């Protein structure tokens, strides 16, 4: 590097470095601040918090005081589990079906299945509400499961398709030429090799379902309350400090899950692909 | 099993999508062509009502503008972070990618709540500025567009960073060395080599951030408050508070169309710039 550039390069390092640090600060600081605030001794969510106590966590885990929150959590977990299960079944099958088709129809089908990712979720949420109501269905968790399956299955499709594309077709051919049936090849060769991809997709789909707002906003009712909608209610009128404790729990869970997924299936590597 | 049979594996998902994705969307379009909220009298009254009102254009404009501002803000701080990631040693890269992906797994509601604690009257920003004597009165940051854009910048940042990093890590490092060896400053290398080559990732990031921030209902209502009206709030009000479904259908189709228009324009630009670079 020539000397005449040293000033320009210095300004480059300074500007890029400052902005990058700002970006990291914006990403990390709010999370740390919420975690700290959740242990406050005071009645309001001030930073820095006054004193240390577990009062909001105690209130949150109290079965009678926080019954609504507990029900919303169990509803959210149930919906996420079922919608992910159906998503894995339908999504992995569809990915297998599309993997070796190179025709136009397969590409259209693929972008159709991926479209819930770009389509505004609120539009689909409202459409689902109208559809189910006008068809005469009563609000239930099953309808929310169906809605969540649609908006989370793209994650499973994408990661499964990615691991299928890295699969050596020779493995399949040799298994079949050695006399193995299609089903046997699938069970003993293909599935074990793409299992980490399906797992990573299932994990993302599960988390997306837990976090889903637009579909739950329209399909959930007081009886089928979902966690994000309940949390929204806790912030909307007067700020309920238990939400800091809920956030603390969710931050911890997300952090632990992230570590586990990183060790088992290399999640961040898959997301960059 | 032959090719035809393998193709049939897509059928369960295709049927599910037809029954609970395509059919509801078609019904949404159908409902929008009814004049009354009981959905009995077909007509164009709701379309005329929405597009005859100047307020609607303001709401559409504000919503799109919010998306554009959030995209600009995420590029301004996200792109430098991606550059730093690119130059970082491998160990640091692992830590950085963890920090970048982690918020994505954290509920949007939690991230929105975090910004209430940061931007509120007694929040971190006000406490800091007050104690430094920069301001004497707490600033009003919640329920302003500035506060909303700052919050959305954090909330949407991973969506910008992941495609950017994925494209940038595939760049040939020799290109940058060559540019430097030929006497270009680092700024010049950035704008003539790195930025054009990372365009596909940048465009993909812009698409995701734009689509997500324009429809971020919770962040918009909680941080923006009720005085800042965007299309998602209007849809919610009309469908679940006023129960005028046909009007809500018109608004949500308008949201869909405006978002998809910007998104396709962006991806068209992306393909064009990609062609220019490689051509």
How far is residue B246's CA from residue B90's CA, in Å, rounded to a whole number? 54
Minimum Cα–Cα distance from B252: chain A residue: A123
3-state secondary structure chain B: CCHHHHHHHHHHHHHHHHHHHHHHHHHHHHHHCECCCCCCCECCHHHHHHHCCHHHHHHHHHHHHHHHHHHHHHHHHHHHHHHHHHHCCHHHHHHHHHHHHHHHHCCHHHHHHHHHHHHCCCCHHHHHHHHCCCCCCCCCCCCCHHHHHHHHHHHHHHHHHHHHHHHHCCCCHHHHHHHHHCCCCHHHHHHHHHHHHCHHHHHHHHHHHHHHHHCCHHHHHHHHCCCCCCHHHHHHHHHHHCCCHHHHHHHHHHHHHHHHHHHHHHHHHHHHHHHHHHC
Greater pLDDT, A81 or A60: A81
Nearest CB to A273 within list B11, B80, B166: B166
Q: How many CB atoms lie within 10 A of CB B80?
A: 20
The tens-digit pLDDT sequence of chain B (279 residues) is: 455 577 888 999 999 999 999 999 999 999 999 999 888 999 999 999 999 999 999 999 999 999 999 999 999 999 999 999 988 898 898 889 888 888 888 889 999 999 998 998 888 888 888 888 888 888 888 889 999 999 999 999 999 999 999 888 888 888 888 888 888 888 888 888 888 888 889 998 999 999 999 999 999 999 998 889 999 999 999 999 999 999 999 999 999 999 999 989 988 887 777 644 443
Nearest to B117, CA basis, from A150, A33, A195, A54? A33
Nearest to A151, CA basis, from A218, A106, A199, A227? A218
Q: How close A4 gets to chain B, by Cα (Å)?
A: 9
Please say whether the beta carbons of A91 and A201 come within 8 A: yes
Cβ within 8 Å, pair A46-B122:
yes
Residues 6+ away with beta carbon under 8 Å from A18? B80
Identify the structural domains of chain A with CATH numbers, from first to last. 66-240 (1.10.3720.10)
Residues of B in contact with A101 (CB under 8 A): 3, 6-7
- Whole-prediction pTM value? 0.89
CA atoms within 13 A on the CB side of B33: 5
Question: Considering chain A, what percentage of its residues have pLDDT values greater than 90?
Answer: 48
Q: How close A258 gets to chain B, by Cα (Å)?
A: 7
Please say whether the beta carbons of A261 and A206 come within 8 A: no
What's the pLDDT tens digit per position in A166-218? Answer: 888 788 788 888 888 888 888 888 888 889 889 889 988 998 999 999 999 99
Q: Which helix (H) or strand (E) holds A82?
A: helix A67-99
Partner residues linked to B34 by β-bridges: B42
Q: Is the CB of A109 inside 8 Å of chain B's CB atoms? A: yes
Cβ within 8 Å, pair A251-B217:
no
Please say whether the beta carbons of B278 and B271 come within 8 A: no
Of the candidate CATH numbers 2.60.40.3500, 1.10.3720.10, 2.40.50.140, 3.40.50.720, the domain formed by B53-278 belongs to 1.10.3720.10
Cβ within 8 Å, pair B113-A247:
yes
Q: Is the CB of A113 inside 8 Å of chain B's CB atoms? A: yes
Residues of A in contact with B185 (CB under 8 A): 5, 8-9, 12
CA angle (B80, B145, B256) in 5-degree steps: 85
What's the pLDDT tens digit per position in B109-145? Answer: 999 999 998 998 888 888 888 888 888 888 888 889 9
Nearest CB to B99 within list A28, A100, A126: A28
Residue ranges per domain, chain B? 53-278
Cβ within 8 Å, pair B17-A34:
no
How far is residue A119's CA from residue A106's CA, in Å, rounded to a whole number? 20
Q: Which letter, b or e, does each residue of B150-171 get, where b requires 16 or more Cβ atoms within 10 Å of its Cβ?
A: bbbbbbbbbbbbbbbbbbbeee
What's the pLDDT tens digit per position in A37-58? Answer: 889 888 777 777 778 888 889 8
Cβ within 8 Å, pair B110-A123:
no
- As for the ipTM of the complex, it is 0.89
Indicate the SS3 state at residue A110: helix
CA atoms within 13 A on the CB side of A27: 26
Cβ within 8 Å, pair B10-A130:
no
Q: Is the CB of A189 inside 8 Å of chain B's CB atoms? A: no
Burial grade of B87 (CB within 10 A; 0-12, 13-18, 19 or more): exposed
Please say whether the beta carbons of B262 and B210 come within 8 A: yes
Nearest CB to A235 within list B10, B17, B222: B222
Judge whether residue A165 has pLDDT over 60: yes
How far is residue A49's CA from residue A53's CA, in Å, rounded to a whole number? 10
Cβ within 8 Å, pair A34-B113:
yes
Cβ within 8 Å, pair A235-B185:
no
Cβ within 8 Å, pair B116-A182:
no
């Amino acid at each position: 590097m020539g000397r005449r550039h040293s000033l320009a390069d210095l300004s480059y390092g300074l500007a890029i470095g400052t902005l990058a640090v700002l970006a990291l600060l914006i990403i990390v600081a709010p999370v740390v601040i919420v975690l700290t605030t959740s242990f406050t001794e005071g009645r309001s969510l001030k930073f820095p918090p006054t004193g240390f106590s577990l009062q909001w966590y105690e209130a949150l885990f109290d079965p009678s005081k926080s019954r609504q929150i507990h029900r919303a959590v169990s509803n959210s977990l149930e919906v996420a589990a079922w919608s992910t299960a159906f998503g894995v079944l339908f999504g992995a099958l569809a990915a297998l079906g599309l993997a070796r088709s190179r025709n136009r129809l397969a590409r259209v089908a693929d972008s159709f299945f991926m479209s819930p990712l770009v389509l505004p979720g609120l539009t689909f949420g409202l459409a689902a509400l109208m559809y189910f109501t006008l068809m005469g269905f009563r609000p239930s968790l099953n309808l929310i499961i169906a809605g969540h399956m649609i908006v989370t299955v793209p994650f499973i499709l994408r990661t499964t398709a990615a691991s299928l594309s890295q699969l050596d077709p020779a493995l399949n051919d040799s298994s079949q030429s050695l006399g193995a049936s299609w089903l046997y090849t699938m069970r003993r060769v293909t599935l074990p090799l793409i299992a980490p991809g399906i797992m990573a997709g299932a994990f993302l789909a599960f988390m997306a379902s837990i976090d889903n707002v637009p579909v739950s906003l329209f399909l959930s009712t007081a009886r089928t309350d979902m966690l994000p909608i309940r949390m929204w209610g806790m912030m909307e009128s007067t700020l309920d400090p238990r939400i800091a404790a809920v956030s603390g729990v969710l931050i911890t869970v997300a952090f632990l899950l992230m570590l586990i997924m990183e060790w088992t299936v290399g999640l961040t590597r898959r997301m960059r692909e | 099993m032959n090719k035809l049979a393998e193709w049939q594996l897509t059928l369960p998902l295709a049927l599910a999508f037809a029954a609970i994705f395509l059919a509801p969307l078609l019904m949404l379009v159908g409902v929008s062509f009814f004049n009354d909220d009981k959905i009995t009298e077909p007509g164009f009254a709701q379309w005329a009502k929405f597009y005859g009102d100047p307020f609607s254009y303001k709401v559409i404009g504000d919503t799109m503008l919010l998306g554009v501002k959030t995209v600009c803000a995420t590029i301004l701080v996200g792109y430098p972070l991606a550059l730093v990631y690119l130059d970082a040693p491998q160990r640091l890269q692992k830590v950085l990618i963890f920090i970048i992906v982690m918020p994505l797994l954290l509920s949007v509601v939690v991230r929105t709540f975090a910004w209430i604690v940061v931007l509120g009257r007694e929040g971190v920003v006000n406490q800091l500025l007050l104690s430094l004597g920069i301001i004497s009165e707490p600033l009003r940051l919640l329920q302003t567009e500035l506060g909303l854009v700052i919050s959305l910048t954090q909330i949407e940042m991973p969506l910008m960073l992941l495609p950017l990093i994925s494209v940038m890590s595939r760049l040939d490092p020799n290109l940058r060395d060559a540019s430097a060896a030929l006497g270009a400053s680092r700024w010049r290398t950035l704008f003539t080599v790195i930025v054009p080559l990372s365009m596909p990732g940048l465009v993909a990031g812009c698409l995701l951030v734009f689509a997500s921030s324009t429809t971020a209902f919770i962040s918009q209502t909680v941080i923006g408050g009720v005085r800042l009206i965007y299309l998602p709030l209007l849809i919610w009000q009309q469908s679940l508070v006023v129960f005028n479904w046909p009007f809500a259908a018109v608004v949500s189709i308008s949201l869909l169309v405006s978002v998809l228009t910007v998104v396709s324009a962006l991806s068209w630009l992306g393909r064009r710039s990609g062609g220019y670079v490689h051509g």
